[in-house]
Chains A and B, each alone.
Chain A
Amino acid sequence: MAGLGIQEPLRPVVPVTGPAISVAPGIAREAARRFFANRLSVVGLVVVVLIGLAAIFADVLAPFPRDYAVFTETLDPPSAAHPLGTDIIGRDFLTRLLHGARTSMLVGLLVPLLSGFIGIPLGALAAWRGGWIDFLFLRLVEIMTAIPSLIIAVILVTILGSGLDKLIFYFVLVGWIPEARLARAQFVALRPREFVLSARALGASDWRLATQHILPNAAGPMIVSLVLAIPGAIFSEAGLSVLGLGVRDPIPSWGKMIAEGAAYVRSVPLLALIPTALIATTMLAYTFVGDGLRDAIDPGSKP
């Protein structure tokens, strides 16, 4: 129309104080469509949901109270009363597995969540401020990364003791690092982008720039990272529990059940095999979900 001499009407300038930029509904719907088109991701999600429901409703689903033991029914095979048999001190094995799911899910979900709450702001701050803050942050990350996280956890357990709450604390103590590094990388990459510069030119504050412009665009990879950290947390708790350094008796955890069942693998192999299979299944399910999320949110990253 410009060639005909008709002037295009001026487009209104988006006010700085107007509503924040948000992801257009179409993008979220498209991501969901891509996610649910991925069969493995859907299967993973179904498994994750089922295990989560089992963990939440363990008290209702379990046929017996968690610690109820009948010493005359030790190592009983599966029966009508005990669908998966009993353990070494006569507790219903299905009940223990259901409550073990709760332990694993608590650790698996809380650790990445808390790690994210700590790591993301720290990483963002380091990237945003730069200078000596970023320098200190990077040195701290290097030092913490040089020491195997499992060693740190074992040392802390030895010094400060075991228990579910302490375990979560130890894992968060080492788990915030990858989230912080990712957040820093995202902020460093996105900070010089045009949409950020434009918003800054229009007078947006640092806080608004970080939370309203950069964070939404960095959320995708960070969400995927948090989801993929879940199986790692589950496995770490299981590993420490197998070593006898995990949650305290009588709280069950799948890792502890593997350690308890290992002594009887010859006579009752299912005592160790079933929790092993559950840990593997859970870890795979979360991995599928995380993989699907990454493909859905950022299709360009797909190999």
Chain B
Amino acid sequence: MKSELQNEHRRGLSRRTFLGRSAVVVGGLIAAPTVLEACAPESTPGPSRPGASPEPSATAAAGEESAFGVPLPADAAPQANQYVQITANPGANGWRAMDGAETAYQAAPWTHSFGEGLVRVNKDLELLPGNASAWEVSSDGLKWTFDLYPGIMWSDDTEVTAEDYVATYQYEADPAHAWDLSWFYSGIIKNWTQVVAGELPLSDLGVTVGADKYKVVVETERPTPYLPLMMIYSWPVQAKALKEHGSATYNLDPATNISSGPWLLEEFSPDRRIAVKPNPKYTGKLLPLTDSLHANVVTGGSDLDRYLANEVDYINLSAGDMPAVLADATLMEQLKLNPADFRTFYLFFDVTKAPFDDPKVRLAFAKAIDREGIVNGILAPLAVPAYSMLAPGFPDENSAGLKSIQGYDPDAAKALLAEAGFANGAGFPKPTLIARGSDGPNATVPEAVVASIVQTLGIEADIQHLDVAPFHELLGNNFGIPWGYVSYGFDYLDATNMLGVWRSGGQYNWRNAEFDGLLEQGGPITDDLAGRTKIMQDAEKMLCEQAAGIFVYHALAGQLHKPYRKGAHLEANKNGYTGIQFGGESTVSDAFNFLYQGKDVVTTRKG
């Protein structure tokens, strides 16, 4: 026996023993998180949790002002606490700049801090002056002139002039720069498309200096009454610095940062922290109550956990956070909801090939989707059912009036499919829904949509998820997506933007001359807004009846804001939406005129 034991010891751990013990270890590892979560103590009560009352906190001294000379409200925290703290994740693509002119899709947090557009929006998404005090359009509707406020200065003591805006737009249109938002002005600004394609020189671009250095002139290809709305994206970079450095990335280094906005760059460490500090030479028209903006870089973990740990002032919620929020009365009080960019999620088809070339088939699919069930069961409160392209609250929308066209009606859906020759789904070829994206609702909603269609119509279907780049590559490759799921959010607040997605020759292969004609007819109208609305609604009705697109839901952005976040900008707008609306907490909106930190931030926030 002893020799056997000694031999065992000498041989070392046997495979069987190792595997047996590994099973115990692995089983323990699997069970540990559940056990730990069950045993974890409640997080330290604070103002975010019931049962704890905040200690009396210091408030701003009487007459105390923000760094921009704006008197702080009576319930504001001292100036030293007037900064915003969030987290940000660079994602797979990372950040390349802090100016929209350099990149729109790889812009770091607090972009638009160093230059303000010609216009901005308020929380009702109404246009306000930005760096332009006024604007007017020529009688033919093709030339817009924006008057800059004189005396707006860059931090190097030079004045902001029209030349800066012209240089910025030329940089954005420069084919050598390959701006990732260059499609935005295509067909709008005169010669934009040709300049971007390299067919015309930059000097031919329809953005020029007007009669004096304070006039920015924008010429359009056709009358575009919503051109001012598009100018919320007209953030300038300094012409001199652009020429010196060759790109707008000079603003990533505090040593070369030049700003005409409220802030200067304090730190750009894309693996640690992005922060901006007050620009003492700011002469613009915003009146920020907030001194500085901080973003701590994170690459994983839960934003909700950070919010509950009082490490951030607010977060944007994901669908996975909602069960925890819905179960917590305190968090529900802090929940803000708004449509953000009025994003609509919808299905589209290759309408040139069977079976989706038949409108009855498409309409059968539309009526087979239980949108209310999907929204209430899976997405609520971060969505509302969609029966049209334009979401409730969007200009010219008619969601209620169009509901009956694509609304859930299983009997009608079955009847339509039978009329199309596929009674009870017999003989219907198995389609594959190609969905853009695979995270969160982009994974679950297509599954729910397909389940609803399959259960109602008795057909079979499956789903393939593609990332954004391969999805659009496939779509652009001879329209290689027979049945797709995608979303679209507005770029400017006009029905022609959202409905224009469905124009002939656009992204999809549905062709309807009457629909195109309505958009062409209504688009330029400026003197009969009621008539324009009717034209847009008629066009949208046509879209719904033909089921060129099947609309599933309109997304709502959910935000949690700490109770110490104050300001009218967080309260309900004219459409009843709350929280920071489109434009965000940036110079694109006037949010900074209203937002400040209340006294409780002193004892609540960490870091």
A residues neighboring B (CB under 8 Å): 38, 40, 67-75, 88-91, 158, 161-163, 244, 248-251, 259-260, 263-270, 273, 276-277, 280, 284, 287-288, 291, 302-303
Contact = CB atoms under 8 A, between A and B. Distances in A.
Given A72-B373, A276-B30, A89 B448 contact: yes
Interface residues of B, number: 48
12 contacts: A67-B455, A68-B451, A72-B377, A163-B464, A244-B465, A248-B463, A249-B465, A266-B320, A269-B33, A270-B34, A287-B19, A303-B11
A277 B470 CA distance: 34
Nearest to A44: B19
Given A69-B448, A244-B438, A303-B12, 16 more contacts: A40-B16, A67-B454, A69-B451, A89-B378, A249-B447, A250-B447, A250-B454, A260-B444, A263-B440, A264-B323, A267-B323, A267-B324, A280-B26, A280-B27, A284-B26, A302-B15
Given A67-B451, A263-B319, A280-B26, A303 B14 contact: yes
A263 B465 CA distance: 17
A71 B304 CA distance: 25
A38 B378 CA distance: 49
B313 interface: no
B376 interface: yes
A39 B27 CA distance: 19
Interface of B: 11-12, 14-16, 19-20, 22-23, 26-27, 30, 33-34, 37, 302, 304, 318-321, 323-324, 327, 370, 373-374, 376-378, 432, 438, 440, 443-444, 446-448, 450-452, 454-455, 462-465, 470
Given A67-B454, A75-B323, A250-B451, A161 B464 contact: yes
A172 to B, nearest CB: 21
Contacts of A67: 450-451, 454-455
A142 to B, nearest CB: 29
B243 to A, nearest CB: 41
Query: Which secondary structure dominates where chain A touches chain B?
Result: loop
A73 B321 CA distance: 18
Given A69-B451, A72-B373, A161-B464, A263 B320 contact: yes
A263 B11 CA distance: 45
B14 A89 contact: no
Contacts of A158: 470
Nearest to B435: A249
Given A69-B448, A69-B451, A72-B377, A250 B463 contact: yes
A294 B34 CA distance: 36
A71 B445 CA distance: 11
Given A248-B432, A249-B446, A250-B447, A71 B464 contact: no
A303 B15 contact: yes
Contacts of B14: 302-303
Contact of A74 (B304, B320, B377, B464): B377
A287 B446 CA distance: 37
Contacts of B446: 249
B422 to A, nearest CB: 19
A284 B19 contact: yes
B376 A71 contact: yes
Given A67-B454, A68-B455, A291-B15, A260 B443 contact: yes
Contacts of A291: 15-16, 19
Contacts of A90: 377-378
Nearest to A285: B23
A71 B320 contact: no
A250 B450 contact: yes
A48 to B, nearest CB: 14
B19 A288 contact: yes
Contact of B373 (A71, A260, A288): A71
A161 B438 CA distance: 14
Given A250-B450, A291-B16, A266 B324 contact: yes
Top 7 A-B pairs, shortest CB-CB distance: A71-B373, A263-B320, A71-B377, A267-B323, A249-B463, A244-B438, A69-B451
A273 B19 CA distance: 21
B40 to A, nearest CB: 12
A250 B19 contact: no
Contacts of B321: 266
A38 B30 contact: no
A52 B373 CA distance: 36
B78 to A, nearest CB: 35
B462 A251 contact: yes
Given A71-B374, A89-B451, A264-B320, A277 B19 contact: no
Contacts of B16: 38, 40, 291
A158 B432 CA distance: 17
B94 to A, nearest CB: 20
Contacts of A303: 11-12, 14-15
Given A38-B16, A162-B464, A287-B19, A71 B370 contact: yes
Nearest to A161: B464
Nearest to B470: A158
A163 to B, nearest CB: 8
A89 B453 CA distance: 14
A164 B544 CA distance: 36
B25 to A, nearest CB: 11
A214 B324 CA distance: 63
A198 to B, nearest CB: 35
A213 to B, nearest CB: 30
Contacts of B33: 265, 269, 273
B462 A249 contact: yes
A266 B38 CA distance: 11
Nearest to A256: B443
A40 B21 CA distance: 11
Nearest to A277: B30
A244 B276 CA distance: 37
A18 B153 CA distance: 103
A273 B517 CA distance: 56
A89 B448 CA distance: 6
Which of B323, B454, B465 has most A Cβ within 10 Å?
Answer: B323
Contacts of A302: 14-15
